[in-house]
Amino acid sequence: MDSVENEARRNAACQVAKSSMSKKTVDRYKPAPDLLVGRTILVTGAGDGIGRAVALTLADHKATVIVLGRTAKKLERVYDQIEQAGNPRPAIVTLDLSQATVEDYEKLAKTLDDEFGQLDGLIHNAAELGTLTPLALYDLGTWSKVFTVNVHAALMLTRACLPALHKSKDASILFTSADVGRQGRAYWGAYGVTCFAVEGMMQILAAELEANTAIRVNSLDPGPVKTAMRTRAYPGEDTEHLPEPESIMASYLYLMGPDSKGVTGQALSAQSC
Ligand SMILES: NC(=O)c1ccc[n+]([C@@H]2O[C@H](COP(=O)([O-])OP(=O)(O)OC[C@H]3O[C@@H](n4cnc5c(N)ncnc54)[C@H](OP(=O)(O)O)[C@@H]3O)[C@@H](O)[C@H]2O)c1
């Protein structure tokens, strides 16, 4: 059930999002060097690929970044790079999202509260690719693992972080999606289905938080980017032409900073709007 006013508000927000996130606007977006000063932002899958670039970029714009991932060594390298650049000291959370329990998320929530008091951003970036296999043959163990990391962990982490996000005056939750989660494509199996689920979770959460909270919720499809996951999905591809993760950071800065205030419930794309 939806009121006419709510629908009108959503349409207006959609217009804002379309105009604010057009490729031209993002290409021209010049974030202030200290855009994220005073903000604490948690990024999952921050040890490699897009998540690593996001963590470094947010820190370069003066956010305190909480880097979450499963490989401590990779997270420590990101930590060191942020410190060496003289940016706000980050924090590391080593957690395998395929194994994490409700207690792990509760512990994380307590640490967030004790250490930071509030959270201004949450970027769900870690994902499990699974295999490219017809649904008729898809291995159910792999199916379950992909759902655990891409959907269940995102829900549990969001719930754990909500109290800290509610304490922020301007908080942003960003889910990572992909084109195969917006239009079904053969053989993308559990990964494709979980991207659809993530889009649904984003829309429902955005609608629930739209009234009387300062938390906006959107999803972003990074588009094709040169990372280990891309190579796993397209092993024979010539990667020469693929953009580096660093080249798509404007969308992340825009969505984590104050310039995207009022943009919520939108399925956005980093490379083509
Ligand atoms: N690259 C693309 O072309 C593309 C296109 C569309 C969407 N995306 C989406 O963009 C996001 C980032 O992708 P990417 O290409 O940067 O992937 P990536 O290079 O494989 O990096 C993913 C990161 O997530 C971490 N991770 C994976 N499973 C985890 C788990 N169970 N617990 C904790 N951390 C885990 C990985 O940890 P380790 O370092 O330990 O492996 C890695 O640091 C994903 O959501 C992906 O679906 C990517």
Is 161 within 8 Å of 209 (Cβ atoms)?
A: no
Ligand 1 atom having least distance to the Cα of 50: 16
- Give dist(CA 250, CA 212) in Å, integer: 28
Counted residue by residue, the chain has a size of 273
Q: For atom 36 of ligand 1, which residue has the closest CA?
A: 45
Q: What are the structure tokens assigned to 113, written together?
A: 């509260």
Catalytic residue among 79, 105, 138, 191: 191
Q: What is the DSSP letter of 89?
A: P
192 lines ligand 1 (CB under 6 A): no
Is any ligand 1 atom within 6 A of the Cβ of residue 69?
yes
Q: 12: CA distance to ligand 1 center in Å?
A: 33
Q: Are 26 and 250 in contact (CB under 8 A)?
A: yes
* Residue minimizing CA distance to atom 11 of ligand 1: 125
User: Two tokens at 45?
Assistant: 């899958």
pTM: 0.93
Which two structure tokens, joined as six digits, stand for 38? Answer: 């005073």
Domains and CATH numbers, the chain: 3-269 (3.40.50.720)
Cβ of residue 130 lying under 6 Å from some atom of ligand 1: no
- Please identify, by atom number, the ligand 1 atom nearest to the C-alpha of residue 98: 31
Whether residue 181 has its Cβ less than 6 Å from ligand 1: no
Cα 203 to Cα 18, 153, 208, 218, 261, distances in angstroms: 16, 17, 9, 8, 17
Amino acid at 75: L
Q: Which pLDDT does position 28 carry in this prediction?
A: 78
**What was the pLDDT predicted at 272?**
76
Q: Check if the beta carbon of residue 156 is closer than 8 Å to that of residue 102.
A: yes
208 within 8 A of 158, measured Cβ to Cβ: no
Q: How many CB atoms neighbour CB 17 within 10 A?
A: 21
Q: For residues 262 and 17, what is the distance between their CA atoms, to the nearest angstrom?
A: 9
C-alpha of residue 124 to centroid of ligand 1, in Å: 10
Distance in angstroms (rounded) separating the CA atoms of residues 6 and 167: 25
User: Whose alpha carbon is nearest atom 23 of ligand 1?
Assistant: 45
- E strand intervals along the chain: 40-44, 64-69, 91-94, 121-124, 171-176, 215-221, 267-269
74 within ligand 1 shell (Cβ under 6 A): yes
Per the annotation, the verdict on 191 as an active-site residue is yes
CA 125 to each of CA 45, 80, 145, 157: distance values in angstroms, whole numbers, following the listed order? 6, 21, 16, 12
Picking from 184, 273, 173, 172, the residue whose alpha carbon sits closest to that of residue 223 is: 273
CA of 229 to the centre of ligand 1 (A): 6
Residue 128 CA: nearest ligand 1 atom is 28
Cα angle: 270, vertex 6, 256; to 5 degrees: 30
Q: Copy the structure tokens of residue 56.
A: 């470094």
The C-alpha atoms of residue 254 and residue 161 are separated, in whole angstroms, by 21
DSSP H or E segment with residue 58: helix 49-60
Cβ 197 under 6 angstroms from ligand 1 = no
The reply to whether ligand 1 has any atom less than 6 angstroms from the CB of 247 is no
Which residue puts its alpha carbon closest to atom 6 of ligand 1?
Answer: 178
Q: What's the alpha-carbon Rg for the chain, to the nearest Å?
A: 18
Q: How far is CA 180 from CA 11, 129, 154, 208, 228, in A?
A: 24, 12, 18, 25, 18
Low-confidence ranges of the chain (pLDDT < 50): 1-20
